[in-house]
Structure 1
């Protein structure tokens, strides 16, 4: 059955649901990553940036739980405290993490190049703009007004701790956006994310799922560092980018692009597929 383009909308894509860090703001998704390293360090536990990136996209408490399950972290905890970690320890690290994250998130609130322009382009086509994040609401309450001043203002936002059902890779946050935005057809929606749980979230929600390989967690570099690597270490740059693309593809992304700046071409392709009757 052919998808009928609604007469009151210029695009058959009804909504796009964005992640935040590494997708719309904070090139490299550095704000949450470094704070996990710093928070664990206050307990005498050393984790690397790569370890901190591993569970990225999950809600922050679940992220901490996953880090504590890492074999090397588990061994360190046993050595430092003489016992395995507990639920109370997860809570203690989370409570240490939260004020540190709130304090630092503003420093990483700059839009990713092309984000403001892409949101403007979508709105001109009548597309609703939702968003969700692994950040807790307390962090989003700090980040949102700063991002809004820079031109990043989705129509709706769901934080990682706002839904009783939980977060990624479940479909709950993405679908909560559709309910709030009153979008009637999940197959006409697109989820955009830089993490593998975020890509899986889009698939689980029945949406088109787009992964961002260069700007977010999978590469994990600022824009300046990415540009320097590309110029000075082109082989390393291509190797890392290819690995990032593979991880997002393996997570089920329908499309993998470098950053949100490349999204309009994907939306146009999805529009054409919807009008032909394709579904995600």
Structure 2
């Protein structure tokens, strides 16, 4: 019996919705400003993208440049009380605004339809907490995207990315027979680590999400040379993280799945 893929597990922001992953990044900037009158750049806010949001704030506090400015302002390193306060500030802002960043990334609807036609199940994991995802899932469903399961960063006692637990919860929810028949698709390095740690094939998305940081309009207007320069910068980061494949966006996924199935038929495993 030949091995066949059973499921594709997608990330959310920057992968299937919110081209450029702007909802979380801008709100991190706003939350730091509102909570402590502390300024972050968008580039700094993007740095730990893919982690759970509390862990994202924690990672920002450990960033050398951010830590230096924090210590200069407050005379000490960021502590857990500070992280809690920023997180409590972040959450209502994220819930309020996430619906405005729920437009599907071009190719999402068509790719998901093709996957379902092939008989594949659709899972999803996210660095968003459940309270944010309840809002985002409602808007995404109205836009035509409803995965079979969604596992959030605060759903599991074991934790979130870069550990395998959210992806493995999808395996349980979807009743998958073998993790090697799953493909994890993500625009962040923690998301690639999640898939690799779960024993899955992994696909990194270079241009639709956080690494490139382009709006959809900027992507459309970019020259071939500009896009090539972005690919040259981003692809090695994904490859170093262990991504089996690196493509521009979800619109380019189907040929990758064909190649994975070819490799499965030959006895290869992730």
Q: How high is the TM-score relative to the length of structure 2?
A: 0.97
In 2, Cα distance between equivalents of 1:67 and 1:84:
11
Unaligned segments of structure 2, at least 5 residues = none
What displacement does 1:78 show? 2.1
- Aligned counterpart for 2:269 among listed residues 253, 256, 279: 279
Residues 34-91 of structure 1: per-residue CA shift (max 9 Å, x gap) = 1111111221211111111110000000000000111222222223223322111100
Question: Which residue is equivalent to 1:40?
Answer: 32
3-state secondary structure, aligned to 1:278: coil
What displacement does 1:132 show? 0.4
Count of residue pairs brought into register by the alignment: 269
Question: Which residue is equivalent to 1:144?
Answer: 137
8 A contact 2:10–2:16 mirrored in 1: yes
Question: Which residue is equivalent to 2:246?
Answer: 256
3-state secondary structure, aligned to 1:209: strand
8 A contact 2:61–2:77 mirrored in 1: no
8 A contact 1:147–1:153 mirrored in 2: yes
Question: Which residue is equivalent to 1:243?
Answer: 233
Residues 206-247 of structure 1: per-residue CA shift (max 9 Å, x gap) = 0000000010111011110122232xxx43432122111111
In 1, Cα distance between equivalents of 2:71 and 2:266:
58
Question: Which residue is equivalent to 2:160?
Answer: 167
Question: Which residue is equivalent to 1:9?
Answer: none
Question: Which residue is equivalent to 2:48?
Answer: 55
- Aligned counterpart for 1:108 among listed residues 101, 106, 115: 101
In 1, Cα distance between equivalents of 2:163 and 2:77:
28
Question: Which residue is equivalent to 2:83?
Answer: 90
8 A contact 2:95–2:135 mirrored in 1: yes
In 1, Cα distance between equivalents of 2:248 and 2:230:
12
Question: Which residue is equivalent to 1:228?
Answer: 221
Question: Which residue is equivalent to 2:15?
Answer: 23
Is 1:195 the equivalent of 2:188?
yes
In 2, Cα distance between equivalents of 1:71 and 1:174:
31
Deviates more, 1:216-225 or 1:57-66: 216-225
* CA RMSD across the alignment: 1.1
8 A contact 2:180–2:199 mirrored in 1: yes
Structure 1 runs (4+) deviating above 4 angstroms are: none
